[in-house]
Amino acid sequence: MELAHLFLTLSVLFLAGLVADEIGHRTMLPRGTLLILCGIAAGGSGFGWLPQEVFEWYDFLSVTALTMVAFLLGGALTRESLRAHGRVILWVSGAVVLVTLAMVTAGLAALGVALPLALVLGAIATATAPVATLDVIRETGTATGFTDTLEGIVAISDVWALMVFSLALTFALGVAAIGATGADLVLEALREILGAVLVGVVVGVPAAYLTGRLKPGEPLQTEALGIVFLTAGVAMWLDVSFLIAGMTAGAITVNLALHHERGFHEIEHIQWPFMLLFFILAGSSLEVDTLGVVGWIGVAYVVLRALSRVIGAGLGALVGGAPDTERPLFGIALMPQAGVAVGMALVAAEELPEYGQTILTVTIATTVFFEIVGPVGTIWAIRKARARGDAA
């Protein structure tokens, strides 16, 4: 790509982000949703305006943006937050994952979908979208007990989702009589999760004590970027989840670095340019044509996933002792679905080739839907919770 073309492309993308940011502040539409729509319009499913070379940035941008988000989500798991909301976080996150798995699997199976396929789709439905959810929280500028709890739920939900997916895929392989690879999948999932936690500990402990010394109370921007890139690089080198590694490192840093006054301020400050490009390129890579061929399985998946999240979050909030005014709102706030689900679908399609095309088509199509509609529900729930809190 010519240098002039590169600068022109970046200028258009950043100006689109500025417009999306302004529209988001004036409407109920989250800026992430607006940027995904811009990406769809500019990408292969739209006018095809983006040069092919731009898509070479996607892997780097997605890993960087997701790792930054993981740090911020882990940073939400402070001692104070866990003492105040820990029970709700654990109950809601666990209930949402289990109820979603059960309802989507049982519903699809009752409608005639083969059990292995229904089970895999049910497991994929448990995944959330931490980037979209955290961006909505940051965009609203709201800091309440509800948003603190929501950040904690999103931080831990995908950990449960990855474990559930591995077990579900193991059972699906057994039902489909593919072979004895199920135990290997469980061991690999445990290796990835525990390995990622170990990476987070190894990076997070020294980061907690060493950062924020040159400028007392706050890590420098170079320190923040160095820790983010170190975490992502080591996790990818060891082939473990950089998302879980980032969350672990963030949680350890925020709880051990007692000399930090604003430990994640620099990450918050620099993350938006990366997330802006990530959202646009994510939208441009989505295959909107799949929406037309998803069929009744996709429609049933959308309905069942939406219902199960509302029911699961409501039950978890009830048992966890969340305020009455917030209980109906958690499920609506947890609707977004994104990259983790697509990653699960790619693994499942490879392990269950006879269902592979259906798994990928349904997941990609419903991801388009939930990534556009889901954040709207999240921003509505946050504003509703804030309004109810003010009224109380």
Report H helices in 141-294: 145-175, 182-210, 221-237, 242-256, 265-285
Burial 199-209 (b: 16+ CB within 10 A, else e): bbebbbeebbe
Token pair 């095309």 is at which residue? 357
Rounded to the nearest integer, the mean pLDDT of the chain is 79
Residue where the block lists tokens 């689900």: 341
Residues 94 and 164: their CA atoms lie apart, in Å, by 10
Q: Count the Cβ atoms, other than its own, within 10 Å of residue 299.
A: 14
Q: Is residue 337 part of a domain?
A: yes
Q: Evaluate whether 178 touches 352 at the Cβ level (below 8 Å).
A: yes
- Residue 332's domain spans which residues? 55-391
pLDDT in the model for residue 259: 63
Give residue-wise pLDDT tens across range 21-57.
777 667 666 677 677 778 877 776 667 777 777 777 7
- Establish if 243 belongs to a structural domain: yes
Does residue 50 belong to any structural domain of this protein?
no
pLDDT, tens digit (0-9, with 9 covering 90-100), for 278-311: 778 777 766 666 666 667 888 899 999 999 999 9
Output the pTM of the full model.
0.71
**pLDDT reading at 180 higher than 50:** no
Question: What is the three-state SS of 302-328?
Answer: HHHHHHHHHHHHHHHHHHHCCCCCCCC
Nearest in space to 142 (alpha carbons), one of 325, 390, 324, 374:
390
Q: Mapping DSSP to helix (H, G, I), strand (E, B) and coil, where does residue 144 land?
A: coil
- Residue 29 inside a domain? The answer is no
Domain count, the chain: 1
30 inside domain:
no
Q: What is the pLDDT of residues 88-141, one digit of tens each?
A: 888 998 899 999 999 999 999 999 888 888 999 999 999 887 777 877 887 777
pLDDT digits (tens, 9 = 90+) for 62-85: 788 878 877 877 777 777 767 766
Tell me if 233 is assigned to some domain.
Answer: yes
| pLDDT at residue 339, as a whole number | 66
Residue where the block lists tokens 């982000």: 17
> Is residue 183 in a domain?
yes
CA dist 143 and 136 (Å) reads 12
What end-to-end distance do the CA atoms of the chain give, in Å?
57
CA distances from 228 to 72, 268, 317 (A): 11, 12, 33
Q: Domain containing 273 — which CATH number?
A: 1.20.1530.20
Residue 215 has pLDDT above 90, yes or no: no
How many whole angstroms separate alpha carbon 98 and alpha carbon 167? 12
* Mean pLDDT to the nearest integer, 318-344: 83
105 or 175, greater pLDDT: 105
Q: How far apart are CA 181 and CA 351, in angstroms?
A: 9
Q: pLDDT higher for 361 or 100?
A: 100
What are 83-103's pLDDT values in tens digits?
766 788 889 988 999 999 999
Q: Lowest mean pLDDT: which of 264-268, 311-315, 359-363?
A: 264-268
Q: Which residues contact 21 (CB under 8 A, 6 or more apart)?
A: 31, 139
- Do residues 377 and 335 touch, judged by C-beta distance below 8 A? yes
167 part of a folded domain:
yes
pLDDT tens digit sequence for 226-258: 888 999 999 989 988 787 888 888 888 888 877
